[in-house]
């Protein structure tokens, strides 16, 4: 009987392993063609139109892709009028604003995140500190706050008069059988508001980063974390392939690891928009029946934003929507590719 792995063939194998090209070279991104002219680009949820412009401006001045992305999303975190992110974000059912954020830095292959962070206006900056200065990836709740305070962040009331009023109105009108007297509303309470900002960046060297930050679902159960601080769900970067992130119903996205899956779809050769559409199909396939209507359509909205190593970008959503993108020349609001008509 011959030795299945003779010394000769073993040595040959060992030599082949030693001489093997790097992992990246052995598993190259098949259909992603590096543009001959390197370019800056940024793609984000529609509320990121100022953010993509800021991010590209900073990158062209030499800023790192993650730093540029964080500066981009901070515009929304600090804007009291954006009730989906940071300061002025809608609170949980007890009226407490709990913020989630995560980020990834492609070149250094690092990630950082915070969940249920209270009292700090810019969770994206705290997530970046977790990435830069710890061996951890996700800090939550009181520990995340103490971590932020140790770096000199100021604890502040994140409710604005407008977001407090929206919460009080929700509490007063949430059910007929509760002990809160209904408030006759000038305007009826609308659908449960959601919102978030995801922003993905690439610079002229092909370095990629992603960041997502949110106040999460309005009126959520205290302690609930959505997809935004979950690396692989709310955002994901592989510096050899691209980046992707999401806004919309976090629970549905977590089930499909949508950020990661979208990057994997790009690894298989799909363009960013097609990759995002393929992810939405998987999310729907994984969604529990109560989230799907009788026609097989989702009862919720979810959107993905993606860019690849060539600086190409795109976005897809269950139902028609908008997104923000900057191609290195100008920032624009564009239509997402919807899986279903409205």
How far is CA 87 from each of CA 84, 186, 198, 215, rounded to the nearest angstrom?
9, 25, 16, 9
Minimum CB distance to ligand ASP, residue 248 (Å): 5
Assess contact for 111 and 137: CB atoms under 8 A.
Answer: yes
CB closer to ligand ASP out of 159 and 233? 233
CB closer to ligand ASP out of 29 and 218? 218
CB closer to ligand ASP out of 21 and 190? 190
CB closer to ligand ASP out of 123 and 250? 250
For the chain, report the end-to-end CA distance as a whole number of angstroms.
68
Minimum CB distance to ligand ASP, residue 115 (Å): 10
CA separation for the pair 222, 234 (Å, rounded): 19
Assess contact for 246 and 259: CB atoms under 8 A.
Answer: yes
Minimum CB distance to ligand ASP, residue 318 (Å): 13
CB closer to ligand ASP out of 194 and 315? 194
Q: Could you list the residues that contact ligand ASP (CB under 6 A)?
A: 194-196, 214, 216-217, 226-228, 247-250
Sheet holding 242-248, edge to edge: 235-238, 242-248, 302-308, 313-317, 337-338
CA separation for the pair 68, 85 (Å, rounded): 18
Sheet holding 41-45, edge to edge: 138-140, 110-117, 99-105, 208-214, 197-202, 41-45, 322-326, 331-335
Catalytic residues: 196
Based on its alpha-carbon atoms, the radius of gyration of the chain, rounded to whole angstroms, reads: 22
């Amino acid at each position: 009987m011959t030795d299945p792995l003779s010394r000769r063939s073993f040595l040959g194998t060992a030599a082949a392993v030693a001489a093997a090209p790097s992992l990246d070279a052995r598993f190259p991104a098949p259909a992603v063609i590096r543009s001959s002219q390197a370019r800056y680009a940024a793609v984000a949820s529609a509320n990121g139109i100022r953010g993509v412009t800021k991010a590209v401006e900073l990158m062209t001045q030499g800023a790192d892709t993650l730093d540029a992305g964080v500066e981009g999303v901070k515009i929304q975190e600090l804007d009291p009028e954006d009730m989906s992110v940071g300061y002025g974000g809608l609170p949980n059912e007890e009226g407490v604003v709990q913020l989630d954020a995560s980020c990834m830095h492609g070149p250094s292959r690092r990630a950082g995140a915070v969940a249920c962070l209270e009292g700090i206006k810019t969770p994206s900056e705290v997530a970046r500190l977790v990435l830069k200065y710890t061996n951890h990836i996700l800090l939550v709740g009181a520990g995340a706050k103490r971590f932020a305070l140790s770096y000199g962040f100021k604890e502040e009331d994140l409710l604005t008069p407008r977001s407090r009023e929206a919460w009080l109105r929700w509490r007063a009108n949430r059910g007929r059988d509760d002990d809160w007297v209904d408030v006759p509303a000038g305007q009826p309470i609308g659908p449960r508001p959601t919102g978030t900002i995801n922003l993905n960046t690439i610079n002229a060297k092909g370095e990629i980063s992603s960041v997502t930050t949110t106040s999460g679902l309005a009126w959520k159960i205290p302690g609930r974390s959505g997809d935004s601080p979950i690396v692989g769900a709310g955002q994901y970067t592989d510096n050899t392939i691209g980046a992707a992130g999401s806004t919309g119903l976090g629970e549905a996205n977590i089930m499909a690891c949508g950020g990661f899956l979208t990057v994997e779809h790009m690894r298989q050769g799909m363009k960013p928009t097609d990759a995002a559409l393929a992810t939405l199909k998987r999310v729907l396939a994984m969604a529990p029946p109560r989230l799907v209507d009788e026609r097989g359509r989702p009862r919720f909205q979810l959107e993905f934003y993606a860019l690849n190593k060539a600086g190409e970008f795109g976005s897809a959503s269950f139902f028609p929507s908008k997104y923000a993108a900057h191609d290195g020349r100008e920032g624009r609001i564009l239509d997402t590719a919807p899986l279903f008509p409205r």
